[in-house]
Chains A and B, each alone.
Chain A
Amino acid sequence: MKPPPFVYHRPASVVAALATLAEAGEDGKVLAGGQSLVPLLNMRLTQPGHLVDINRIRELSYVDAGSDAVRVGALTRHAELARHPGVPALLREATGCVAHPAIRNRGTTVGSIVHADPAAELPAVLALLRGSVTLASAAARPGRARPDQEIVRRSVAAADFFLGPLTSAVRPDELAVEAVFPRPAPRSGTAWLELSRRKGDFALCGTGVLVTLDEDRRVTGATGAYTGVGPVPVLVELTEAVAGRPVDAVDWDRAGTLAAGAVAPEDDIHATAAYRRQLVRVLSARAGAAAARMAVADG
């Protein structure tokens, strides 16, 4: 369990990192927290020729808790995000479910999103909040322009970002510099629930639910996001099962049934597909009810 040889780069700026990534192309890999990449390297399951360590680029470590969205820099650790006072409940709850303290202290939020593990929490949260990822790359002809003009940025919506298991829309020459988590609308509530075999393991199924009420406390919208039941984070529109009802009269089991019918999980060594479907059913109902309670408190 020793990695094969690679060239180690430790750029001090985004521009330098992007230049290296552009040069390395398919043979380059970004190292941030390393909590997924280093085991993969050690097991020789990935063998990049160039490792671009961004840990010296301090400007990428930030949490910008704005009124419309929370922006998280590429070097922000899970633990830093979770203890930031301006972070919405869903993000904090889901981040608290990521692995163990040692991993949360080192692993990065953006890194987890880019890794695109369908069992991971943060991709599902990003999807549920209709967030996006900002990708940067070196301009084709940097010339003598100012550094920020040497960088090309694009924003990719969560819906377009996750392409498959461990596959995201990030090109080899790109660096994901920021994740943007929009804040839920007023009179919204959220909840994150998951069931894992052991505390801190990737969940058999993780469920986030976002519920929005109108001024009369009737449900206007409900969405579920699920980990572990598809190749990418799975979003299920639950509104039709619960919309229009006063929040106190909603039968959240209906949302569970709807969600269970909408997902297509697979068998693996830890659970059958049918059991995962059952978890979607149960966790949707429980998380829906919890999110509704929060929405009531919010409105």
Chain B
Amino acid sequence: MTTKLFGEPIPRREDPRLVAGAGRYLDDIDEPGQLAAAFVRSPHAHASIVDIDVTGALEVDGLVAVYTYEDLAGPLAQPLPLLIPHPSLRAARTPYPLAKDRVRHVGEAVAMVVATDRYLAEDAAQRIRVTYQPLPPVVGLDAASKAGHLVHEDVPDNVSAHLVQEVGDAAAAIAAAPHRLHLELHIERSASMPMEGRGVHARWDETDRSLRVYSSTQTSTSLRFALAAKLDLPVDRVEVVTPDVGGGFGVKIVHPWPEEVLVPWAAIRLRRPVKWAEDRREHFISSAHERGQQHSVDVGFDDDGRLLGLSVKFLHDNGAYTPYGIIVPQVTSTQLPGPYRLGAYRVEFHSLYTNTVQVTPYRGAGRPHGVFVMERTMDAIAAALGLDRTVVRERNFIQPEQMPYDQGLIFQDGRPLVYDSGDYPAALRLAKKLVGWDEFTAVREQARAQGRRVGIGIACYVEGTGVGPYEGAYVRVETTGKVVVATGLTTQGQGHETVFAQIAADQLGVPVENVNVVTGDTRRFAFAVGTFASRAAVMSGNAVAAAAGKVRAKALRIAGEALEVDPADLSIVDGVVSVKGTPQAAIPLASVAVLANPLRYAFDEQAKQATQFAVGGGIHRPPVAEDDEPGLAATGYYSPVRSTFANGVHAAVVETDPETAEIRILRYCVVHDCGRLINPRIVQGQVHGGVAQGVGGALYERIVYDEHGQLLNASYMDFLIPYASEVPAIEIDHLQTPSPLNPLGIKGAGEAGVIPGAAVLAAAIEDAEGIPVHRMPICPSELWELRNADHR
């Protein structure tokens, strides 16, 4: 293939549209006669529903319908799907679309109101009187594991899942080790918090018996299947279209949401378009959260700091329901080992129910917790032995020549956790150089002499990316020479319109401007999995390459016939197929596209070239060969045997105020290896955004529930997402270790930036303060209290 676009930092083609406010998001969709939905949500963390009195709502002019659980029937009256079953998930529970008899977290939907606009829908919702019998709520991991009260009365220990994985005999290895440490580590709850909340718009065509649903989702194809099942419709009568999506970060991979089935259902019943756009408070209390784990670590190591055995037991707060199975704790448990040879490793987790919003993956999806645990352990080993923190890491790294390296664990895709490639020592060397690790002792001492506290931290991670099962793509060259690329996975701002166009343009030898990319529209491509787990570039990128490669081969064959030359002697440059060395023997790709579709009717001037009396020769064979299809088009799929593993190292320098305990990030350095880069500018942007979320998770963001299960900070005033003013300048260096698993040699980059944030900032703060940091996030007040506790 030519490589003139692959690897080029071309500007994002979607930006002029999105930055100029010309994007079309869910709430921008309006139709005549459209209705609006609003929801009555539980104010209690745990309660029985005694009565729902809707009479007050009936007085609201513009009210169209009120629905409660009693109105649901068939599959819709069943709990929502358990999306990812797992044998260890011994007590999976998912919610009903509208609460049946009982609510299990503040924000659970109890009734749906449909009115002529959202104002009136909220007016009516406010007038619905629900009588609750409050039940004791279970809040926090301590309460959940004590199981004094139950979230689900038929789950006697509040445990949804219990899983143990062990490689070697960790207990024996630790017992026999010359040195041992025990650590208790905590990561608090946070959430994805995309700027655009969830939203769904549905339109039922009664004559056509078809449903079109727009949803702000990370998976339109799977949502389509789920809706067909829940609403008892043939799949081919349901289409799901993803408009521009203002961020997902994991929360929008969950589907179908209660609102996602109820809005289409109401549209069908009412025979009118219905829209629901989630508001911010709803997002806080009724979508999903993440993080939230307590780890208990035992580690054994030798005099050089080499790991001999590691045993981790942790508790995972999965909230009230488990629609996404055990993915988050499973990823934590398997990605925790990072770039290290652990000797023996045992990991055990309990996933626990609480009367809080359900927990499903948020960018990083369990990895930030695992990396925090592993890297805090590495730092603790270094401190115990008086060794440089990077030396301990170097001594434990898996070496490049040991690749592929089998960690002996089963990953989230049900397949062995085998690292495909990576050069961890090189990444660490680069990071040390970038941040000035070896010079920092002098910097720290000099600052101390001025009464300042500065510290440095470093954290390494490995990220499994590009999980299967598959993605596909459709590539077609139009008779105008323009290229259409359609892939089924969705886009939430990643830059797919740019990178997939780069890949297709390279394969087809056309200018990137001539390539148009469509994603997340089941009308255009029906088979897909979704956008999550840093998989889109790997999966759809390789699928686009495969489809475009087929189109290229077909173009060369047809052009070869037209030019009467061997296709192997042809090349495609700037949309023209020509004979190598004889550029005047050429045919535009547009003409090849015309020839690829034998026609009877000359519907335009160009079409004449492909009609029956224009195409010469071959009257004794069918116009379309038996193994061929009309059109210069092809579909390609990519399905990897297993995930590909990216890696990286972050290093940070912080300063803490001796009096106010303010924490300021002076430098933030990233060395990142995601294999071959399709577009370095976009990868850099992914890292920037990820680091911003990593900084948020380390220093600002936390979901705070009180003991009654009330969310205390359900607004952007009190849930502190960092502004640009809080995010440091980010210095980036790249390594490119190609993946041997896919033709393009790429690995995922979407989550990398966020993963080591809590680990690296905890390390830097610890270094500045000389006090162990075992809980993240940390804010100035907590650091100040930590100092006081340390002095006592």
Residue ranges of A at the interface with B (Cβ–Cβ < 8 Å): 1-5, 43-44, 195, 197-202, 204, 269-272, 274-276, 278-279, 282-283
Cβ-neighbour of B122 out of A44, A199, A201, A274 (below 8 A): A44
Say yes or no: A1-B279 contact (C-beta < 8 A), given A197-B700, A198-B723, A282-B659. Answer: yes
Chain B, residues 709-726, CB within 8 Å of chain A (1/0): the string is 000110001101011011
Distance of A22 from chain B, by nearest CB (Å): 28
Query: Is B660 a contact partner of A279 (Cβ separation < 8 A)?
Result: yes
Residues of A within 8 A of B720 (CB): 197-198, 201
Query: Is A278 a contact partner of B784 (Cβ separation < 8 A)?
Result: yes
Other than the known A2-B122, A271-B779, A278-B784, what 7 A-B pairs have Cβ atoms closer than 8 Å?
Answer: A4-B122, A44-B126, A198-B700, A201-B720, A269-B712, A271-B780, A274-B784
In this assembly, does B119 line the interface, its C-beta being within 8 Å of a C-beta of chain A? yes
Chain B, residues 646-664, CB within 8 Å of chain A (1/0): the string is 0000000000000111100
Query: Is A282 a contact partner of B660 (Cβ separation < 8 A)?
Result: yes
Say yes or no: A274-B785 contact (C-beta < 8 A), given A197-B700, A198-B720. Answer: yes
Mostly helix, strand, loop or mixed at chain A's interface?
loop
CA distance A282 to B661 in the complex (A): 11
Say yes or no: A275-B122 contact (C-beta < 8 A), given A197-B700, A200-B723, A270-B718. Answer: no
Residues of B within 8 A of A270 (CB): 718, 779, 781
Query: Is B660 a contact partner of A195 (Cβ separation < 8 A)?
Result: yes
Query: Is A275 a contact partner of B785 (Cβ separation < 8 A)?
Result: yes
Distance of A293 from chain B, by nearest CB (Å): 19
Q: What 3 A-B pairs are tightest by C-beta distance, nearest first? A: A271-B781, A199-B725, A275-B781
Chain B, residues 114-135, CB within 8 Å of chain A (1/0): the string is 0000110011001000000000
Residues of B within 8 A of A275 (CB): 661, 780-781, 784-785
Chain B, residues 756-792, CB within 8 Å of chain A (1/0): the string is 0000000000000000000000011100110010000
Distance of B590 from chain A, by nearest CB (Å): 49
CA distance A270 to B785 in the complex (A): 13
Query: Is B780 a contact partner of A195 (Cβ separation < 8 A)?
Result: yes
Query: Is B123 a contact partner of A269 (Cβ separation < 8 A)?
Result: no
Query: Is A198 a contact partner of B722 (Cβ separation < 8 A)?
Result: yes
Residues of B within 8 A of A269 (CB): 704, 712-713, 718
Say yes or no: A199-B126 contact (C-beta < 8 A), given A1-B280, A1-B281. Answer: no
Query: Is A3 a contact partner of B119 (Cβ separation < 8 A)?
Result: yes
Query: Is A4 a contact partner of B123 (Cβ separation < 8 A)?
Result: yes
Say yes or no: A5-B700 contact (C-beta < 8 A), given A43-B281, A198-B723. Answer: no
CA distance A102 to B53 in the complex (A): 43
Residues of B within 8 A of A271 (CB): 779-781
Say yes or no: A204-B781 contact (C-beta < 8 A), given A195-B662, A198-B726, A199-B725. Answer: yes
Distance of A40 from chain B, by nearest CB (Å): 11
Distance of B686 from chain A, by nearest CB (Å): 23
Distance of B280 from chain A, by nearest CB (Å): 7
CA distance A185 to B126 in the complex (A): 54
Say yes or no: A2-B119 contact (C-beta < 8 A), given A195-B662, A201-B720, A269-B704. Answer: yes
CA distance A270 to B779 in the complex (A): 8
Q: List 7 A-B contacts (CB under 8 A).
A: A1-B279, A4-B126, A197-B720, A198-B726, A204-B780, A204-B781, A269-B718
Count residues of B near A (Cβ-Cβ below 8 Å): 29
Residues of A within 8 A of B279 (CB): 1
CA distance A204 to B780 in the complex (A): 10
Distance of B121 from chain A, by nearest CB (Å): 8
Residues of A within 8 A of B118 (CB): 2
**Please, which residue of chain B has its CB at the minimum distance from the CB of A278?**
B784
Say yes or no: A278-B722 contact (C-beta < 8 A), given A2-B122, A198-B700. Answer: no
Distance of B770 from chain A, by nearest CB (Å): 19
> Which residues of chain B from 176 to 223 have any CB-CB distance to chain A below 8 Å in the complex?
none
Distance of B145 from chain A, by nearest CB (Å): 24
Distance of B154 from chain A, by nearest CB (Å): 34
CA distance A100 to B706 in the complex (A): 30
Distance of B749 from chain A, by nearest CB (Å): 27
CA distance A54 to B735 in the complex (A): 60
Cβ-neighbour of B660 out of A3, A4, A201, A278 (below 8 A): A278
> Which residues of chain B from 691 to 739 have any CB-CB distance to chain A below 8 Å in the complex?
700, 704, 712-713, 717-718, 720, 722-723, 725-726
**Please, which residue of chain B has its CB at the minimum distance from the CB of A272?**
B781
CA distance A270 to B126 in the complex (A): 31
Residues of A within 8 A of B661 (CB): 275
CA distance A202 to B715 in the complex (A): 14
CA distance A283 to B657 in the complex (A): 12
Distance of B368 from chain A, by nearest CB (Å): 21
CA distance A269 to B712 in the complex (A): 8
CA distance A1 to B714 in the complex (A): 13
CA distance A2 to B119 in the complex (A): 5
Chain B, residues 275-315, CB within 8 Å of chain A (1/0): the string is 00001110000000000000000000000000000000000
CA distance A149 to B780 in the complex (A): 54
Residues of A within 8 A of B700 (CB): 197-198
**Please, which residue of chain A has its CB at the minimum distance from the CB of B723?**
A198
Residues of B within 8 A of A198 (CB): 700, 720, 722-723, 725-726
**Please, which residue of chain B has its CB at the minimum distance from the CB of A42?**
B279
Distance of A52 from chain B, by nearest CB (Å): 20
Distance of B239 from chain A, by nearest CB (Å): 30
CA distance A282 to B781 in the complex (A): 14
Query: Is B718 a contact partner of A5 (Cβ separation < 8 A)?
Result: no
**Please, which residue of chain A has its CB at the minimum distance from the CB of B279?**
A1
CA distance A207 to B722 in the complex (A): 24
Residues of B within 8 A of A43 (CB): 281
> Which residues of chain B from 498 to 545 have any CB-CB distance to chain A below 8 Å in the complex?
none
Distance of A232 from chain B, by nearest CB (Å): 20
CA distance A287 to B722 in the complex (A): 27
Residues of A within 8 A of B123 (CB): 4-5
CA distance A269 to B781 in the complex (A): 10
Residues of B within 8 A of A278 (CB): 659-660, 784
Residues of A within 8 A of B725 (CB): 198-200
CA distance A197 to B126 in the complex (A): 34
CA distance A194 to B788 in the complex (A): 22
CA distance A118 to B244 in the complex (A): 41
CA distance A278 to B726 in the complex (A): 23
Distance of B38 from chain A, by nearest CB (Å): 8
CA distance A3 to B280 in the complex (A): 14
Query: Is A272 a contact partner of B785 (Cβ separation < 8 A)?
Result: yes
Query: Is A199 a contact partner of B723 (Cβ separation < 8 A)?
Result: yes
CA distance A269 to B700 in the complex (A): 12
Residues of B within 8 A of A3 (CB): 119
Residues of A within 8 A of B784 (CB): 274-275, 278
CA distance A283 to B780 in the complex (A): 14
**Please, which residue of chain B has its CB at the minimum distance from the CB of A197?**
B720
**Please, which residue of chain B has its CB at the minimum distance from the CB of A202?**
B717
CA distance A271 to B281 in the complex (A): 23
CA distance A283 to B723 in the complex (A): 24
CA distance A269 to B722 in the complex (A): 17
CA distance A270 to B784 in the complex (A): 12
**Please, which residue of chain B has its CB at the minimum distance from the CB of A44?**
B126
CA distance A283 to B122 in the complex (A): 45
